[in-house]
Structure 1
Amino acid sequence: MPDGAAAFVHGDALSSARVDAFLEVVPPRDRETRPESLARAERQRRRWATQVVVADELARRACAERGLKPPEEVRPAQVLAVAEEDVADLGSIVAAVLAHSPAARVLLAELEGEQHVSESAVRDYYDRNRDRFLTHDALRRGVDPFGGPFSGPFDEDGSSSDFLPYADVHEGIAHELRRAAGRRAFFAWLDHARTKVVYADGHEHPGDPSHPDHEHRH
């Protein structure tokens, strides 16, 4: 590994300066006071940041291969906010990648647009998640969406006045399922793309058990 490289990305050296630049706009996650604890936290923060920068580089290459042109990147004074919900759903690395990398966001949108959601999948989601489609009045009355009592029998299309009509929520369900499928495709792409990345010492994945400080958290 040449001096100044954080990793080899498909045979090309990725400069540790890009990791340093990212670290400058990301506040530390830990508030350690003991020197040894602070040093360990900073080592892990660098490994975490390397993963974000590597994913950004991989996304740039994937966009180039697909003929996609991400918007010009403007380096922020502080890293874009990452929603707690995204951290919980995606993990801190992928959530930070999508907040930091225009290329990753463009690629995710492209992958999401490629997903096909069948009518049967939308209907199945509606039928299995009745609790999400109760009307405000039904919620106020404490209607049990899976066991009644309902204000009337189901119609032939499965509707009831206790529930939002299927036609009204169809597009929202399809969008949600397409978004989830796009995220799964993004995860699959990233897992595959990272298989040929080689990391310099001190830049490994923070959960890599080959180094003594390893940990895995969100």
Structure 2
Amino acid sequence: MSAAGQVVARVGGSVITTVELDERLAAIRNGPLGPRLPKDGTPAGVRLRRWVAQLLASEALLLHEAGHSVPSHDGSHPALDRAARALFDRVTADVMVSEAELFRYYRDNLDLWARPERRTVRQAVRNTRAQAAAVRRDDLGAPETLTRGQLSGPFEDAVFGAAPGAWIGPVRTVFGWHVAVLDGVEQGAVLPYDAVRESIHDDLLSAARGQAFDDWLAGRRAALIHLSPGYEHPGDPSLPDAVHRH
């Protein structure tokens, strides 16, 4: 092997060699995850080497497209993060989500915007039914706002079946004998479209921009990255030890 190393990949006008690959692998192995990584020469170690080659090629591609030089061997090139962000912003600047898409998402996912009925009660728990029956309103605890599922069994049914102002109980549960007063009821509702439109827009736009950038990046990788034999993606089905995981 020459001092310059063998070619691992060509990215645009740049060349990544085994020297850069070995230095990045050494930096990774010297990091906190080093002891958990597969050993060199093992099948898993060979796949790790291919993964790191993919990483170096992707970094070089981002910097090439952003007009920067090739990154340092340990991945600490100060321009890499800025290049990735600038490229993302540039490539996705024109991505939009239509009003029709926003409303369709709202309509198809109404359960996401549903607010359950909420009931405010003041309650007390005693060891016996007689003790619970002797509880006065002044003995009840502080107001609690509850939704179905926070209570259980007959006591929950009594609370959610009562009218505002009603005295509830005594009702027995595993915790003892409950009595309560229902102070108020906030009916369940579905938040209106206008109330959630902005959050839907942010979520869908973020997803659309991510997909647009992934598609662009895949195209640029196909056009500009040329890997030497043996450094293909570890999941390439042409490899005898192909393993493809996400």
Common topology (TM > 0.5)? yes
> Residue 198 of structure 1: which of 226, 232, 239 is its match?
226
Unaligned residue ranges in structure 1 (runs of 5+): 78-99, 143-159
TM-score when normalising by structure 1: 0.63
1:51-81 per-position Cα deviation (integer Å, ceiling 9, x unaligned): 12211211112223xxxx8xx99x679xxxx
Equivalence map 1:25-174=2 (5 Å):
25=28, 27=33, 39-64=42-67, 101-135=81-115, 137=117, 140-141=147-148, 162-174=189-201
- Secondary structure class of the residue paired with 1:216: coil
- Secondary structure class of the residue paired with 1:193: helix
Distance 2:35 2:106 in 1: 39
Distance 1:211 1:166 in 2: 51
Distance 2:237 2:20 in 1: 25
- Secondary structure class of the residue paired with 1:206: coil
Task: Say if 1:120 and 1:161 are closer, same or farther in 2 by CA, change over 3 A.
Answer: farther
Task: Say if 1:134 and 1:12 are closer, same or farther in 2 by CA, change over 3 A.
Answer: same
Residue of structure 2 equivalent to 1:212: 240
Task: Say if 1:43 and 1:133 are closer, same or farther in 2 by CA, change over 3 A.
Answer: same
Aligned residues: 168
- Secondary structure class of the residue paired with 1:110: helix
Matched AA of 1:48: W
Considering only CA atoms, is the larger Rg found in Structure 1 or Structure 2? Answer: 2
- Percent identity over the alignment is 31
| Residue 125 of structure 1: how far off its partner (Å) | 0.7
Task: Say if 1:31 and 1:53 are closer, same or farther in 2 by CA, change over 3 A.
Answer: closer
More strand per residue: 1 or 2? 2
Distance 2:35 2:93 in 1: 34
More helix per residue: 1 or 2? 1
Unaligned residue ranges in structure 2 (runs of 5+): 119-145, 150-186
Matched AA of 1:110: R
Distance 1:130 1:20 in 2: 53
CA RMSD of aligned residues (A): 3.4
| Residue 9 of structure 1: how far off its partner (Å) | 1.3
TM-score when normalising by structure 2: 0.56
The answer to whether the 8 Å contact 2:95/2:209 transfers is yes
